[in-house]
Structures are given as C-alpha cells and as structure tokens.
Amino acid sequence: MSSTVVPALQGDDLVLGYHRDVVVHGVSVQLEAGAVTALIGPNGSGKSTVLRSLARLHPITDGRVRVDGADAAPLSSRDFARRVTLLSQSRPHPSGLVVRDVVAFGRHPHRGRFAAVSDADRAAIDHAMAVTGITGMADRAVDQLSGGELQRVWLATCLAQDTGVLLLDEPTNHLDLRYQVEILDLVRDLADHHDTALGVVLHDLNHAASVADRVVLLHQGRIRAAGAAVDVLTSEHLSEVYGLPIRTVVDPETGLVRVEAQGKHHQRRR
C-alpha cells in the first residue's frame, strides 16, 4: 500500500478578489516537498494573487490554506513565517547596509524581539549565503550590487528564514541571461538537494518547462490545465490561453518542452 503524500502547502478552492471584484475562482494548488510547481498564464490570470494568498498576504474570500495538512488560519504570523516565505516582485532597496545584514533579516521569525544573533542564526545566514553563492560579497554594501546580485541577496534572505516552503514571484524578472540561468539552477537545487517545496510564478514558458515538476496554467482566474509540463504546455492549451499561434515541441535529447510563439513575422527571412 502506497502512503499518501501530504502537501507542504496547499490552497483549497481559493476564491480571491480585490474589493468586490472576484479575480480567482475556486483555484486549488498543492506544493510538495522536493518539488517545483510553476504557476503560468497571461497577465491578469491570477498567478501572483494566488501566490500571495498562499503566503497569507492576500485575503481569502472563500477556501482555505493548509500547511502540512492542517488549516493555516490558527497559526500566528511568526509561526507561519517559520514555515513559509515569499520572495515578492516588489522589495525595498536597503541603503547603508552590507549584504550579511540584509540576509540576517530572514532570521527575525526565529528571534526574540531584543535577542542577540545566536550561533544558530549565524549558521543559517552562512548557509543561505553559501547556497546562493554570495559568501564572497558578505561585507559589500548592497548599494554597490547589480540587480542580479541583489536578487540573490534577497533570495538568501528568504533561505535564512529556514522554511520548508519557498514562494517566488517572477524571480528571473529583469535579470540578464546568466542570472536567469543561475536562479533557475538554484531553484532546482533547493528542491533536489534540500527537499524544499517551491511555488514559482514564471512568465517565460521555457523556464517553466525546464525547472518545474508540475505546471499550473491559469486563465481568467481559473485553472485551464495542470500536470507535467509535457501535458500542460501543448499548442492547444497555450494558443487558446494566450490568443496567438504557439508551437510546442519536445526536445529529443533533453525531453524538455520548447515553446515558440508565432507572430506575423515568424517566418524566417531568406
């Protein structure tokens, strides 16, 4: 008899809105330890709203969020922050601080109000910087960092929070190709080697295909398809949702789906 896997974090039949306008209609999402779930879809499809509701940062009109199978509502903010963390799109740009100080912010849920930094805190901070490859810049002022470097610092801050669930809202946005690849590699490493449950909002469909174990395609606040990338990222699904011809193929060497939108100038010039 196979045992049932209890999701690390899940949203059940989520109904979400802004004021009186409902924008997400009965969406259910499950994040499992050691797996990456990518939320994709056009602008306005509800991806980021769903992610923020899973982080308890967007009010839920109906449905519920559960952590390790139990209702998350009774958890205090501190207890919830010890289990789930979110890297959002909009983050402050700290000034007058060095990298290590920013990463240390992630330890706040584990520390008393006036408690000094403990050995456990230092170990978590060092580990987070090592995993994200920023140990060598620990004493650099964050004002001196590039956008890609700062993105890794904020990701290290989330890792220092030492949660089993990590939510990422467009983590590759505004990054050049090298940093995009490094962030996606790190996401995959966190799932494979640290047993983290990851929920990631991505606009780049090829990124989703390369990094995700499970893909959830949203359209107009509802799930159009969910499952393995090869089953979700089909020409039929994507052309319908995005409103233009989209061709998908499976790379025979890697087994990964490749997505190519076909605009009016798609034909190769001779």
Q: What's the Cα-to-Cα distance from 2 to each of 9, 33, 227, rounded to whole Å?
A: 21, 17, 20
Task: Tell me, letter by letter, the H, E, C secondary structure of 110-154.
Answer: HCCCCCCCCHHHHHHHHHHHHHHCCHHHCCCEHHHCCHHHHHHHH
| Highest mean pLDDT of the ranges 25-29, 90-94, 146-150 | 25-29
| pLDDT at 174 > cutoff 90 | no
Task: Tell me how crowded residue 88 is: count the other CB atoms within 10 A of its CB.
Answer: 17
Position with higher pLDDT, 36 vs 132: 36
In which band, very low, low, confident or very high, does the pLDDT at 83 lie, cut at 50, 70 and 90? very high
For the chain, percent helix, then strand, then coil, each to nearest 5? 35, 25, 40
- Look-up of token digits 């174990």: 213
| CATH homologous superfamily, domain 1-83+163-243 | P-loop containing nucleotide triphosphate hydrolases (3.40.50.300)
For the sheet with 222-227, list strands across it. 84-87, 165-169, 197-201, 36-40, 214-219, 222-227
pLDDT of residue 1: 39
pLDDT of residue 268: 59
| pLDDT at 15 > cutoff 90 | yes
HSE-up (13 A, CA, CB side) for residue 42? 14
In which band, very low, low, confident or very high, does the pLDDT at 266 lie, cut at 50, 70 and 90? low
Q: H or E element: which one contains 262?
A: none
Percent of the chain whose pLDDT exceeds 70: 96
Can you name the residues that pair with 226 across neighbouring β-strands? 216
Q: What is the mean pLDDT of residues 21-29?
A: 97
- 33-47, 49-63, 103-117, 240-254 — which is least confidently predicted? 103-117
| pLDDT at 270 > cutoff 50 | no
pLDDT of residue 267: 59
Q: Is-contact 241 217, C-beta < 8 A? A: yes
Query: How far does Cα 129 stand from its chain's mean position?
Result: 19
Instruction: Write out pLDDT tens, residues 88-147.
Output: 887 777 788 999 999 999 999 988 666 778 899 999 999 999 988 899 999 999 999 988
Q: What's the Cα-to-Cα distance from 269 to each of 62, 248, 258, 260, 265, rounded to whole Å?
A: 52, 21, 21, 17, 9
All structural domains of the chain with their residue ranges: 1-83+163-243, 95-162
Retrieve residue 176's tokens: 């050049």
Q: Provide the mean pLDDT of the chain.
A: 91
Position with higher pLDDT, 19 vs 54: 54
In which band, very low, low, confident or very high, does the pLDDT at 212 lie, cut at 50, 70 and 90? very high
| pLDDT at 7 > cutoff 90 | yes
DSSP tag of 98 = B
Gyration radius of the chain's alpha carbons: 19
The pTM (predicted TM-score) of the whole model is: 0.91
Q: What is the mean pLDDT of residues 238-251?
A: 94
